[in-house]
C-alpha cells in the first residue's frame, strides 16, 4: 500500500544524469524504497522507470543498495511466468482466507515486487506493504517476516472484500488508499492518481496469473 509513483521521462528532453538523479532520490539515496529499479525505452523514446516490472522489455538499471545479500529477489521474467518465491505461504493464506492465490500474487507483485524488505515513503513495509496500524490490527510482530506479512495482508484483503460486498475493485482501492477513503467518496474508487492506477494494474496481473496457473 501507499507506494511512490512510477517515473516517466522523455529521453529526448532529459539527460542521463538527470534520470539517474531522479532514480537515486526516489529509490535509494533517501531510503524511500528497498526495491531495484528497472528501465524500459518505448517506441516513442520515452523512458519508463519502475520498481515493479510487468513487461519483458524492462531491464535492471539500479540495484537497491539497502537490500541485504540474503534477500530473495525474483527476475522480471519469473514474476511474469508465475515462478514466484513464497508460493507455499501464498497458497496457504489464500486457502485460509478464501482468496484466489493469483490475486495475492498480483497484489504482492504491485506492492513490493516480491521484495520482503520493501518500504514505502509512507511507512508501509514488507511483501504486502502493511502500514503500522494495519500490522497492529492483525497482530503482526515483524512486518518483514514473509509469513506474518502475507497472512495479515490476506486477512485484511478478505475483510475489505466482505466490507464492500465482494466488489473487488473497491476492495483493492481500499487496500491502497484505506477503507475510509472509499467510504468517503461514496463507495467509489477515490480520485487519487495512485489508486486509479493501482486497481487496474492489480486486476490485469491477476488475470495474467490466473491464466498461467496450473
Query: From CA 192, how far away is CA 90, in angstroms rounded?
Result: 29
pLDDT of 39 over the 60 cut: yes
Mean pLDDT of the 187-201 span: 96
Higher pLDDT pick, 85 / 4: 85
113: left (phi over 0), alpha (psi -120 to 50) or beta: left
Tens digits of residue pLDDT in 66-99: 333 334 445 555 555 555 779 999 999 999 999 9
* Distance between first and last Cα of the chain: 28
Tens digits of residue pLDDT in 49-65: 776 655 556 565 554 43
Query: From CA 77, how far away is CA 207, in angstroms rounded?
Result: 17
Catalytic residues: 111
Amino acid at each position: 500500500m501507499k507506494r511512490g509513483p512510477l517515473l516517466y521521462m522523455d529521453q529526448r528532453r532529459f539527460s542521463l544524469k538527470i534520470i539517474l538523479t531522479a532514480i537515486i532520490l526516489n529509490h535509494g539515496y533517501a531510503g524511500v524504497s528497498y526495491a531495484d529499479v528497472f528501465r524500459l525505452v518505448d517506441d516513442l523514446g520515452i523512458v519508463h522507470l519502475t520498481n515493479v516490472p510487468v513487461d519483458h522489455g524492462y531491464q535492471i538499471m539500479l540495484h537497491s543498495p539497502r537490500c541485504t545479500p540474503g534477500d530473495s529477489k525474483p527476475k522480471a521474467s519469473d514474476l511474469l511466468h508465475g515462478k514466484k518465491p513464497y508460493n507455499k505461504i501464498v497458497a496457504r493464506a489464500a486457502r485460509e482466507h478464501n482468496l484466489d492465490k493469483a490475486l495475492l500474487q498480483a497484489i504482492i507483485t504491485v506492492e513490493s515486487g516480491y521484495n520482503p524488505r520493501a518500504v514505502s515513503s509512507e511507512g508501509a513495509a514488507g511483501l504486502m506493504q502493511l502500514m503500522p496500524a494495519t500490522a497492529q490490527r492483525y497482530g503482526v510482530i515483524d512486518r518483514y517476516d514473509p509469513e506474518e506479512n502475507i497472512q495479515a495482508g490476506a486477512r485484511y484483503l478478505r475483510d475489505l472484500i466482505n466490507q464492500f460486498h465482494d466488489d473487488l475493485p473497491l476492495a483493492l482501492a481500499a487496500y491502497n488508499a484505506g477503507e475510509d477513503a472509499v467510504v468517503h467518496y461514496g463507495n467509489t474508487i477515490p480520485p487519487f492518481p495512485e489508486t486509479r492506477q493501482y486497481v487496474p494494474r492489480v486486476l490485469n496481473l491477476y488475470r495474467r496469473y490466473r491464466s498461467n496457473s496450473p
